[in-house]
Amino acid sequence: MSKLDDIVSLSKRRGFIFPGSDVYGGFAGTWDFGPLGVLLKKKIMDSWWTFFVENREDMYGIDAAILMNPKTWEASGHTATFADPLVECKECKSRFRADKIADGINESVSTEEFLSLHVKCPVCGKENWGPIRKFNMMFSTHVGAVLPDDDSELMEKNVAYLRPETAQGIFVNYKNVVDTFYPSLPFGLAQQGKAFRNEISPRDFILRDRECSQMEIEYFVHPNDWEDNFEKMRALFHEFLEKEMGLKTEAIHELEVPAEDRAHYSKRTIDFMFDYPNGTEELMGLAYRTDFDLSNIARESGKSMEYRDKITGESFVPHVIEPSIGVERLFLAVLSNAYVEDEINGEKRVVLKLPENLAPYRFCVSPLLKNKPELVEKAQEVYKILRAKYGNVTWDDSGNIGKRYRKQDEIGTPKCVVIDFDTLEDGTVTVRDRDTTEQIRVKPEEL
């Protein structure tokens, strides 16, 4: 088993992540977060929000609708260009993203170029390809009372898309915020929410799924200041990933994205790559989007997106620095960064060395024996105190103490608190450390 398989297995076994619609045999490209997954995911998202929004004066949060006026996607270029090169094997009818089954080509690969590489079908091994076709990754639906047998004009008129990125929900609210809060430049609008991409072949666990959560900031700046602000964001994200998420510095690599690989709107992009168990993959992107989006909106809506400087009186369309991070990608980075197999007293152990601020539970409280009422009663007392103080505290009185430790190690609980017979004598409890497995005795109020 690869390390990724181990993580997938642990995720399911301990209730972090289950395959989507598992009971019906799953649904490709979807995953469900279980009780512990929700706790970890929420901590990751809250930590981002605190770091980038609550602790700053220059950030405003928004939460826009997932369904947006389709003009949004015309203006942003998604209707025309948000497409992957789809190729079909004529032998077995399997469909693939051409640039994912051949080396050295990108999304704009032509049929001739692809055929010249003599790629064999990953499913049947033959080489008999149809032409490359552009496949738009937006999920479309129809809004309002539209029936399948309605004429195509009505269908067309009522088409809507599940948003393929959260960014546009921010851009369409830029003017609303400027007109109600009068922020000074530079300022940012931040949003967390779902985005949908109809990936041709979802894979690599939650790395490439069809439904994901994004955390995005559009940071509006004076056009002359973009480089300075780009550098500030770059440094801030390193700080966030390393200090708040606990990711190892050496596992994060910056990739300066060359012009031909950049999204159509970007003048400069740095991808933050992470060493995932199955290889180095994109963790997040930092893009300089210029005034591409606001200018498109101005053109498409007929409304001015100009910002008027309060001091100089200068009017201009702000430029944008966009740090964009996928929650699931970050979740998997945090999980694989924390996943360790070690040996304690000659016995193999799996442990999630999650940072304390992210661990689903901070403490696990248990009585040494569950059939001794005096121990259980005292343990309940300690449990209630810690729970009132920290919130995320769990109770475990199942199996023997060794089994409980094993379980808490696997879900990343930093400290296990055990109430034993000495507790009844001197009031101290045993506190066992997840990483070192060392045990000390302290008074519960010192925790």
- Residue from 59, 64, 89, 321 that binds Zn ion (CB under 5 A)? 89
Residue 375: CB atoms within 10 Å: 21
The nearer residue to Zn ion, 18 or 135, going by C-beta atoms, is 135
Query: Is residue 127 within the footprint of Zn ion (CB under 5 A)?
Result: no
The nearer residue to Zn ion, 131 or 223, going by C-beta atoms, is 131
CB of 65 to Zn ion, least distance (A): 41
The nearer residue to Zn ion, 91 or 282, going by C-beta atoms, is 91
Q: Which residues contact 228 (CB under 8 A, 6 or more apart)?
A: none
What single-letter DSSP state applies at residue 328?
H
Binding residues for Zn ion restricted to 187-226, rule: CB under 5 A: none
Identify which range of 77-85, 88-96, 169-177, 337-345 contacts Zn ion by CB under 5 A: 88-96
CA separation for the pair 290, 265 (Å, rounded): 8
The nearer residue to Zn ion, 123 or 273, going by C-beta atoms, is 123
CA distances to 34, 378, 443 from 426, rounded to whole Å, are 39, 12, 9
CB of 102 to Zn ion, least distance (A): 14
* Spatial CA neighbour of 26 closest among 277, 197, 210, 194: 210
CB of 110 to Zn ion, least distance (A): 21
The nearer residue to Zn ion, 127 or 225, going by C-beta atoms, is 127
- Give the chain's count of helices (H) and strands (E): 15, 23
Identify which range of 20-28, 118-126, 151-159, 336-344 contacts Zn ion by CB under 5 A: 118-126
CB of 148 to Zn ion, least distance (A): 32
CB of 114 to Zn ion, least distance (A): 14
Identify which range of 124-132, 234-242, 263-271, 343-351 contacts Zn ion by CB under 5 A: 124-132
Task: Yes or no: say if 105 and 117 are a contact pair by the CB < 8 Å rule.
Answer: yes
- Residue from 102, 121, 185, 320 that binds Zn ion (CB under 5 A)? 121
Q: Which residues contact 211 (CB under 8 A, 6 or more apart)?
A: 29, 30, 194, 195, 196
Provide the token pair at 131.
């032409």
The nearer residue to Zn ion, 89 or 332, going by C-beta atoms, is 89
The nearer residue to Zn ion, 121 or 393, going by C-beta atoms, is 121
- Provide the residue type at 424 as one letter: L
Identify which range of 84-92, 219-227, 300-308, 419-427 contacts Zn ion by CB under 5 A: 84-92
- Residue from 28, 65, 92, 440 that binds Zn ion (CB under 5 A)? 92
Query: Is residue 123 within the footprint of Zn ion (CB under 5 A)?
Result: yes
The nearer residue to Zn ion, 123 or 369, going by C-beta atoms, is 123
The nearer residue to Zn ion, 107 or 127, going by C-beta atoms, is 127
Q: Which residues contact 358 (CB under 8 A, 6 or more apart)?
A: 40, 43, 44, 47, 245, 246, 334, 412
In our burial notation (b when 16+ CB lie closer than 10 A, e otherwise), range 408-420 reads bbbbbbbbbbbbb
Number of Cα atoms under 13 Å in the Cβ half of residue 378: 24
CB of 281 to Zn ion, least distance (A): 26
- Residue from 6, 58, 88, 91 that binds Zn ion (CB under 5 A)? 91
Task: Yes or no: say if 205 and 20 are a contact pair by the CB < 8 Å rule.
Answer: no
Identify which range of 92-100, 276-284, 361-369, 427-435 contacts Zn ion by CB under 5 A: 92-100
The nearer residue to Zn ion, 200 or 358, going by C-beta atoms, is 200
What single-letter DSSP state applies at residue 57?
S
The nearer residue to Zn ion, 120 or 264, going by C-beta atoms, is 120
* Spatial CA neighbour of 20 closest among 11, 12, 28: 28
- Residue from 28, 67, 124, 440 that binds Zn ion (CB under 5 A)? 124
Assign 3-class secondary structure to 191-237: EEEEEECCCCCCECHHHECCEEEEEEEEEEECHHHHHHHHHHHHHHH
Q: How many residues bind Zn ion (CB under 5 A)?
A: 7
Task: Yes or no: say if 206 and 328 are a contact pair by the CB < 8 Å rule.
Answer: yes
Query: To which residue do tokens 């780009």 refer?
Result: 230
Query: Is residue 270 within the footprint of Zn ion (CB under 5 A)?
Result: no
Contact residues for Zn ion, defined by CB under 5 A: 89, 91-92, 94, 121, 123-124
